Amino acid sequence: MTPVPLLRDGTPLTLDKAVQRVDEISTLPHIALRVMEVASDENSDAVDLKEVMEGDAALSARVLRVVNSSAFATRTQITNLQQAIAYLGLKQIRNLAMTASVSELFAKDEAIGPYRRSALWRHLVSVGICSRLIAMRRKIHNFEDAFLAGLLHDIGVVLEDQHFHEAFRETIHSLDGSRTLAQTEREQLNFDHTTLGEKVAQTWGFPEIVTATIRHHHASMNYRGNDINIVRSVEVANLICTLKGIPSVGVKLVKFSQPALAGLGLTKEDIAVLANDLDNELTMNASLFQM
């Protein structure tokens, strides 16, 4: 039987205590959380987002660099945030700002068995891009939210690696293909990346659509909210990226979800087409991987 992980004071690790520890350290920069809050507020406008982002000159510069990359094919150079927001819109600028902020969590690469932090980063961005592709193909109106949900779907894995590293190390070494990542996490940590990610996302004020996806991206059939097709898109994108050799923790543990495919009206042939088309999307958005 796996020993219960202990905190430094000797008390057993629980989900609530894990969330408290993560919140105290506040992994994501305050500016990033404000950007997400403002961009998700229906009463906010371009001026509000511009003012928030101007509080972090380095973040703004990184976003502008990507806006002027080949991915967006701007006819003239965009030199300030106001122009960038006018050209791409609040949600796409929000997505770029969040991508840049999350990338900072991967500044130091590390390997544990089959797992590499740099590979997890590639997985997160790839799932974001693929989720948006699926949402656009299925004509889901809020397809930019699909990117954000895909980008953040495995934030729980990031938090486990950062804040409960030894138990996370044991989790990775325990992956033998017979159990899912979540099952193995629960044995080693008393919770899994979906429940930890959901609770922290709620604490940090993430949009409900993102929080729901973090919780249900392995089982969208358990979600009953209005954003079911975004959750399904991320679940399918997670599958496609894993099948293409871009898994989250270096092991292909994701399985086909017939309810998600059926809910989106996708066949296995459609999955093959999407997987093929994703190559071009990843190439077009290569600048996101270097933010």
- Tell which CATH classification among 3.40.50.720, 3.40.190.10, 2.40.50.140, 1.10.3210.10 matches the domain 15-25+108-290: 1.10.3210.10
Summarize the confidence of residues 136-162 as an average pLDDT: 96
pLDDT in tens, 166-200: 999 999 999 988 899 999 999 999 999 999 999 99
> What pLDDT does 124 receive?
98
**Tokens representing residue 211 in the block:** 């929080």
Q: Are 235 and 217 in contact (CB under 8 A)?
A: yes
Q: Rounded distance, CA 98 to CA 29, Å?
A: 10
Q: Rounded distance, CA 216 to CA 203, Å?
A: 17
Q: Which of 189, 197, 192, 199 is nearest to 6 (CA)?
A: 189
Q: Are 27 and 162 in contact (CB under 8 A)?
A: yes
Sign of CA dihedral 154, 27, 128, 125: negative
Q: Is the pLDDT of residue 253 over 90?
A: no
Provide the 8-state DSSP code for 182.
H
Q: Are 143 and 136 in contact (CB under 8 A)?
A: yes
Summarize the confidence of residues 107-132 as an average pLDDT: 96
What percent of the chain stands above pLDDT 90?
Answer: 82
pLDDT in tens, 35-88: 999 998 889 999 999 999 999 999 999 999 999 988 888 889 999 999 999 999
**Tokens representing residue 117 in the block:** 């932090």
The backbone torsions φ and ψ at residue 112, rounded to the nearest 5 degrees and listed phi first, read -135, 105
Q: Rounded distance, CA 220 to CA 232, Å?
A: 6
pLDDT in tens, 202-245: 999 999 999 999 999 999 999 999 999 999 999 999 999 999 99
Q: What is the DSSP string of 232-287?
A: HHHHHHHHHHHHTT--SSSS------HHHHHHHT--HHHHHHHHHHHHHHHHHTGG
Beta-bridge partner residues of 112: 115
Q: Rounded distance, CA 230 to CA 221, Å?
A: 12
**Tokens representing residue 179 in the block:** 């159990």
Residue 267, phi-psi category: left (phi > 0), alpha (psi -120 to 50), beta (remainder): beta
Q: Which of 133, 71, 130 is nearest to 96 (CA)?
A: 71
- pTM as predicted: 0.93
The backbone torsions φ and ψ at residue 111, rounded to the nearest 5 degrees and listed phi first, read -120, 140
Q: Is the pLDDT of residue 4 over 80?
A: no
Residue 252 vs residues 134, 166, 247: alpha-carbon distances, Å: 21, 22, 6
